[in-house]
Amino acid sequence: MGRMEQGHLQHGPLGENCAHLCVDMQNLFVDTDWHTPWMKRVLPVVERIARAKPDRTVFTRFIPAERPGEGEGTWRRYWERWSSMTLESLPPGAADLLPPLKALVPPAEVIDKRVYSPWVGSDLHERLRARGVDTLVVSGVETDVCVAGAVLGAVDLGYRVVVPTDAICSSSDETHDALLTLYRRRYAQQVETVVSDEILRAWG
Q: At what angle do helices 146-156 and 173-186 cross, to 10 degrees?
A: 10
What's the whole-model pTM score?
Answer: 0.94
- Total tally of structural domains belonging to the chain: 1
| Cα 37 from chain centroid (whole Å) | 16
158: left (phi over 0), alpha (psi -120 to 50) or beta: left
* Residue 39, domain member (yes or no): yes
* Residue 84, domain member (yes or no): no
* Residue 196, domain member (yes or no): yes
* Residue 49, domain member (yes or no): yes
Asked if 199 contacts 8 with a C-beta cutoff of 8 angstroms, the reply is no
* Residue 132, domain member (yes or no): yes
Each residue's pLDDT tens digit, 154-165: 999 999 999 999
* Residue 70, domain member (yes or no): no
Give me the CATH number covering residue 172.
3.40.50.850
For residues 71-97, average pLDDT:
97
* Residue 75, domain member (yes or no): no
Each residue's pLDDT tens digit, 122-159: 999 999 999 999 999 999 999 999 999 999 999 999 99
How many CA atoms, within 13 angstroms, populate the side-chain half-sphere of residue 169?
Answer: 22
Find the domain containing 158 and state its range: 18-65+94-202
* Residue 2, domain member (yes or no): no
| Rg value, the chain, Cα | 16
